[in-house]
A = this chain, B = another copy of it.
Amino acid sequence: MSSKEKILGTAIVLFAQKGYSGLSMRQLAQAVDMSVAAIYHHFPDKNTLYLEAVRFAFSDKEQVFAQVWESGCSAEEKLGGFIRSLIDVMLQDRDFHRLMQREILEADPERMQLLAQGIFKRQFSLLMQLATELAPEQDAQLVATSIIGLAKCYVEYQPLLKNFPGWKPKHEMPEVIAAHITELLLNSLRAKTA
């Protein structure tokens, strides 16, 4: 692993934990056991480093979903597979999830465009295509957004849900969450097309 990759990998974890302004270059330097100037040798400034870290975090997620799309399953099975993969990725790589959350929270228009066009567009298009297949008469973007929103909220609210009445340990199991969401969606989409 090169120094640059080491810096980026550590930056992902620490930016996800502390946020952009919460992480100082000195803290990062200490974490990768280098001098501050060494980091500035690889990256022109903090902002560029952050952007590259975000891009780096996203770079290996693309192929996780490839096998779902390329499988010979039915549309309904593909939906189940996609939801399950999405939840698995977010639960396993929480730094990725938190970094993504932070990016969306910041909502900088320029970065939103970069995020949408450069990173998520392909997956979102495929999901919209699937939505059209399942429910041709509904608005594909609305349906696709609902799918992602449903999956994401369970990961996001997990620390909060523990404290509500009605909480059960199985609510943290990816297969239970995925099954609930998939059923909810298929029930609805089927009802509409029938």
Contact = CB atoms under 8 A, between A and B. Distances in A.
Chain A, interface SS category? helix
A124 B162 CA distance: 13
Contacts of A20: 19, 22
26 contacts: A19-B21, A19-B22, A20-B22, A104-B160, A107-B159, A116-B162, A117-B163, A121-B163, A125-B164, A139-B166, A139-B168, A141-B161, A141-B171, A142-B171, A142-B180, A145-B154, A145-B161, A146-B181, A148-B153, A149-B154, A149-B157, A150-B153, A152-B153, A183-B188, A187-B187, A187-B188
Contacts of A177: 142
A52 to B, nearest CB: 20
A190 interface: yes
A184 interface: yes
Q: Which 3 A-B pairs have the closest CB atoms?
A: A149-B153, A116-B163, A187-B188
A164 to B, nearest CB: 5
Given A116-B164, A125-B165, 7 more contacts: A19-B19, A104-B157, A104-B159, A139-B171, A150-B150, A152-B153, A190-B191
